[in-house]
Structure 1
Amino acid sequence: MASEREKMEAGLMYCCVDDELDRLRSRTYEIVHGHNSMPPSKRGDVAPELAALFGLAGDNIRLEAPFHCVYGYNLFLEERVYMNVGCVILDTARVHVGAGTMFGPGVHVYCAEHSKDPVERAAGLEVAKPVTIGENVWVGGRAVILPGVSIGANAIVGAGSVVTRDVPPGATVVGNPARAVARD
């Protein structure tokens, strides 16, 4: 029988209320706290313990504090990724962020999709869906990217947008739900 972690990592319905997952989250929260508590002279740097937790940490990554992630090992950040203050990555599945991508303040990326059945939801059942963000994407402040979404290279997500479906390369999307608009 598969563990809840194994089910989560396989993209199957799993229970997020689980001792093993709790231990992994607690460990990550300690590491994230260390990153967020670094002295002002280190502002924007990535704490070595946090970088070591990531699935991939390219060169010249900057994560302004406060930053939050759930597991860390599902984060794949290529070189020159920048995340402004208050970014939250709920990485129950793989989150891949391409080189040169920038997040404005308070961007949220969610991988967990809770069961639509109220009884299953109350029992903590959810499924983890990966999020992929291409190279040189600009995600405006307070945007939210939902589970399973892919954003193509060179796209722009307007501030405050809620991205519910895939965004093609080079597109600009705005609003809730995010819709394509012409670029200026």
Structure 2
Amino acid sequence: MDLKEVKERMQNGKLYFPTDEALLSEQAEYMEILYDFNNTRPSEGEKRAELLKKLLGGVGKNCYVEPPLHANWGCNTYMGDDVYANFNLTLVDDVKITIGNHVMFAPNVTISAAGHPVEPGLRYRQAQYNLPVTIGDNVWIGAGTVILPGVSIGDNTVVGAGSIVTRSIPANVVAYGNPCRVIREIGERDRKYYYRDLEIDLE
């Protein structure tokens, strides 16, 4: 299987072997950029922003990613404007991960667009498949959340800490758990209280 066919299978949800030497060589170039990003000093904000633009497929305005960042590639991830990611965001982006505007990631979030077949023989041979992940606008992903291949999360939704998101979650809801499920819609009470019985006191 030549490199072109491997890449087509990567992008189309088909099984493939990610061990092609030309593929690994291309991936290594992005790993070098990622290494440089993760070794910037706190005072090197401009350098960090430029490296993020080189690493990712697309970066909007005012995005901030706290090192360390982990990524399989980086170039298959696209961020909108005003994205904030706390430390240890992990992007298993062998296929496209799309992140909307005004998205917040708490620490230790994993977005995995890649998986492996259950069948032992194929897995022994390191077969893999990829399914894209999409996160809408104004989403908050809680600490330690894991988002699995093929999932989409709708606009304005909050995913609670420690969730394992195995299926798509609609817009305008609070969802959490293992597996992650919709707990309730975002509603009038959320416009009055920001946490339990603590009232919002900002205009």
> TM-score by structure 1 length?
0.94
2:55 is matched with: 53
Corresponding residue for 1:79?
81
* Among candidates 24, 30, 33, match of residue 31 of structure 1: 33
Quick one: distance in 2 between partners of 1:149 and 1:120? 24
Q: Deviations over 1:23-57 (max 9, x none)?
A: 12221111111001101113697442331232211
> Is the counterpart of residue 132 in structure 1 residue 134 in structure 2?
yes
Contact 2:33–2:54 at 8 Å: present in 1 too? no
Q: Which residue of 2 aligns with 1:104?
A: 106
**Kept in 2: contact 1:161–1:174 (CA 8 A):** yes
Counterpart residue number, 2:181: 179
* Gapped regions of structure 2 (runs ≥ 5): 191-203
* Counterparts of 2:88 and 2:162, CA distance in 1: 14
For 2:172 and 2:160, how far apart are their aligned partners in 1? 13
Tell which has more relative contact order, 1 or 2 (C-alpha 8 A, sep 6+).
Answer: 1
Q: 2:158: which partner in 1?
A: 156
Deviation at 1:161, TM superposition (A): 0.4
Provide structure 1 residue ranges, at least 5 long, that are not aligned to the other structure.
Answer: none
Distance 1:136 1:34, change over 3 A: same
Q: Does 1:7 align with 2:18?
A: no
CA distance in 2, matches of 1:43, 1:103: 19
**CA shift in 2, pair 1:46/1:131, >3 Å:** farther
Distance 1:56 1:107 in 2: 20
Distance in 2, Cα, partners of 1:45 & 1:83: 17
The answer (yes or no) to whether the contact 2:40–2:48 under 8 Å persists in 1 is no
Is the CA contact (8 Å cut-off) linking 1:102 and 1:137 kept in structure 2? yes
- Tell me which structure has the larger Cα radius of gyration: 2
- Of 68-77 and 21-30, the range deviating more from structure 2: 21-30
Q: Which moved more, 1:168-177 or 1:41-50?
A: 41-50
- C-alpha displacement of 1:10: 2.6
Report the count of equivalent residues: 184
Structure 1 counterpart of 2:16, which letter?
Answer: Y
**Deviation at residue 132 of structure 1 after TM alignment:** 0.1
CA-based RMSD of the aligned residues comes to 1.6
